Structure 1
Amino acid sequence: MKSLLKNAREQKGLKTREVSQMLGIDQALISKFESGTRKPTREQISKLSQLLEIDYESLMTAWLKEKILYEIGNEEFALKALLLAEQEIQNNSKQINTILLTSIQGILDEIDTLKNQMESFNHFELRQISKTLELEFIFKNIYFNSNSLTLEETKSVINDGLTIAGKSMQEHMEAINFHETILYIKDLVQKKTALNEKEFLFVHHLIFKGTSANSSGKFKNDTLIVREMNLLFNWYETHKNNLHPIILASETYLKILDINPFENGNIQMATLILNWILLQNNYTYISVKADIKSVNEYFSVLEESKNQNDTFIFINYILELEKENLYRALELASK
């Protein structure tokens, strides 16, 4: 933990005195945290995590590990006690997850019923629905990024290769890049490619190809970012077969935003990876509606979920979006 704190502070170019002033923690304590001679409180961990932009989960894990070692590290039966504690924690966690899943089981069942209806369509119908939903998905996402292309203009740029008068080349490139990225992700889904660093970085490169050449496809210059992303990929592999796909996708989304691995495009990346996971499991695209009210609602839900440290606030929001999009898919099939 001491290395995490010191490295993060130095990478932000802060002195212990400045950290002390910003957080209201005595400077001598900051130095002792970094030397390992004193341990922060849980409240101090939260403050340090936010200021130094350290993943809260990683910092808390390091803090708890040191706390456990301090308490029982030299005890003769420490390992046996830890094994028993691990079993009890896992049992408690299963009970909590069961309660949470029960609270959302109704909407999960509704979503799966709608999904089964959609899967009953023939190949031609599914292809037409998918094509329409893709274009709407691209339009919604570039709108979210303040692109002024309308839905019809987005269709013309992508389907017909037209240039729209009065719209910047940057806006055209955003639409084209997003379309190419979706095609690439669909190819990954078809090949059943696992989520990994190589593809994650390449997807980011595709989004910003020709627009942000210096930073596209590259993590921030921060060794902690690489470590946290590797933890994310490991977490994903561990949970991909025991979490409901929409819950898995939602939690992956939140973890990407928490890590904030790129100089720009973190929300776009989180959205694309969320949809990569959904497409792998035969769900429809999820995106925020292209209007100010919906965008504001998204940020409000995200903030509430973070402030209350409750991922299920955001998961419920994503479930509602998926249900709406499945109804949209069925609506398209009836036309």
Structure 2
Amino acid sequence: MRNLEEWFLVELTYTSNALEGNTLTRKETAAVVEKGLTVGGKTLVEHLEATNHAKALKDVLRLSRTPTSQVRGLDILQLHETVLHGIDDANAGHYRTIPVRISGSPVVLPNPVKVPDLMDAFIEWIVSGADLHPVELAAEAHYQLVTIHPFVDGNGRTARLLMNLILMQNGYPPAIIRTRDRLKYFGGLEKAQLGGAKDGYRKVIEAAVDRSLEIYLKAAAGEVAEQDTDQEPDLLRIGQLARETGESNATIRYWTKEGLLQVADSTDAGYQLYHPSMIERVAKIRELQGQRYTLSEIRGQINQE
């Protein structure tokens, strides 16, 4: 159990942050979380995202000893404060007071004036013990929180922490949403937020719970559990990233020099390697350029995400 808890701490931190664009690999995340090491070529924010998420997970483990009926709004605010500690202290643990948009999504989020009341109703709904299966309750709580979008940043990480808190309070292991399921996960959320069915989103969550249960059940039976739920993504050379995005090598190289793209690693020969998430970053850069943002302004926006 102790070994599994340590493994889940790293795996949940790695996957939850990777879903949001953090380029630390699983091994690098483990080095940061377990040994307090720093990884060359990675930003301070990426290191803080790893250590903060691990601390928040320990808070979730402590809170999981209490029933779901005792979840408080303050618990969610404290989890969020831990997630953004040292990254955005002005907004950490506070509801947003400004309008926000989900990058690249047509979803319209609630007016900030409505957020406190929406959150009060949300907490009341959770503690009422809605007549739902625990997995459905956890998935729905996650969905409702990201749909209210009560914070300027860190909504996704906080929602996944809350989901896993509810699962653990009801005897389930935490659910790991694999990075390979990123498009299905975000696509399912967006479809539901635009008025469509939640089936796709729920399938992602249910499958994640099933995988975690399988790991625990095999361990309980004395079997070697297959814990590699999410293979490290293949890193891309500059030419591969250029082909995937339709850009030239020179453009990729220039944007890297300007701090718009991050290098994940390098080969022994010194060739730069990029995380696949940089494909979406390139699309984002082009989108902002189309809106006539300067490179400096684009860099500022990217650094705030």
Shorter-chain TM-score above 0.5? yes
Aligned partner of 1:276 in structure 2 is 165
Q: Percent identity?
A: 25
Conserved? CA contact 2:177–2:204, under 8 Å: no
Pairs within 5 Å for 1:181-330: 181-192=56-67, 194-221=70-97, 222-240=112-130, 242-291=131-180, 294-330=181-217
User: Structure 1 residue 130: deviation in Å?
Assistant: 2.0
Counterpart residue identity of residue 321, structure 1 = A
Match of 1:173 among 48, 51, 54: 48
Counterpart residue identity of residue 40, structure 2 = A
Whole-angstrom CA distance in 2 between matches of 1:284 and 1:246:
10
User: Structure 1 residue 231: deviation in Å?
Assistant: 0.5
- Report Cα offsets for 1:229-287 as digits up to 9, x if no partner: 001011112234x3211111111111112211111111111111101100111211213
Whole-angstrom CA distance in 1 between matches of 2:191 and 2:176:
19
User: Structure 1 residue 214: deviation in Å?
Assistant: 1.2
Counterpart residue identity of residue 310, structure 1 = A
Of 281-290 and 324-333, the range deviating more from structure 2: 324-333
Pairs within 5 Å for 1:19-34: none
User: Which consecutive residues of structure 2, in runs of 5 or more, have no partner in the other structure?
Assistant: 98-111, 225-305
Whole-angstrom CA distance in 2 between matches of 1:331 and 1:296:
29
Whole-angstrom CA distance in 1 between matches of 2:66 and 2:193:
34
Conserved? CA contact 1:134–1:285, under 8 Å: no
Whole-angstrom CA distance in 1 between matches of 2:124 and 2:74:
14
Whole-angstrom CA distance in 2 between matches of 1:192 and 1:127:
22
User: Structure 1 residue 192: deviation in Å?
Assistant: 4.2
Tell me whether 1:141 sits opposite 2:30 in the alignment.
Answer: no
Task: Name the Cα RMSD after superposition.
Answer: 1.8
Task: Classify the secondary structure of the residue corresponding to 1:226.
Answer: helix
Counterpart residue identity of residue 83, structure 2 = I
User: Structure 1 residue 173: deviation in Å?
Assistant: 0.8
Conserved? CA contact 2:64–2:165, under 8 Å: yes
Which of these two proteins has the greater Rg computed from alpha carbons? 1
- Report Cα offsets for 1:36-91 as digits up to 9, x if no partner: xxxxxxxxxxxxxxxxxxxxxxxxxxxxxxxxxxxxxxxxxxxxxxxxxxxxxxxx
Whole-angstrom CA distance in 2 between matches of 1:147 and 1:331:
31
Whole-angstrom CA distance in 2 between matches of 1:331 and 1:136:
18
User: Structure 1 residue 136: deviation in Å?
Assistant: 0.7
Task: Classify the secondary structure of the residue corresponding to 1:211.
Answer: coil
TM-score normalized by the length of structure 1: 0.58
Conserved? CA contact 1:220–1:262, under 8 Å: yes
Whole-angstrom CA distance in 1 between matches of 2:80 and 2:12:
17
Whole-angstrom CA distance in 1 between matches of 2:40 and 2:78:
31
User: Structure 1 residue 327: deviation in Å?
Assistant: 2.0
Aligned partner of 1:117 in structure 2 is none
Whole-angstrom CA distance in 2 between matches of 1:160 and 1:334:
28
Conserved? CA contact 1:133–1:329, under 8 Å: no
Counterpart residue identity of residue 256, structure 1 = L
Task: Classify the secondary structure of the residue corresponding to 2:144.
Answer: helix
User: Structure 1 residue 312: deviation in Å?
Assistant: 4.2
Task: Classify the secondary structure of the residue corresponding to 1:288.
Answer: coil
Counterpart residue identity of residue 37, structure 2 = L
Whole-angstrom CA distance in 1 between matches of 2:89 and 2:185:
29
Of 317-326 and 178-187, the range deviating more from structure 2: 317-326
Counterpart residue identity of residue 210, structure 1 = G
- When residues 151 and 330 of structure 1 are mapped into structure 2, their CA distance, relative to the original with a 3 A threshold, is farther
Whole-angstrom CA distance in 1 between matches of 2:67 and 2:194:
35
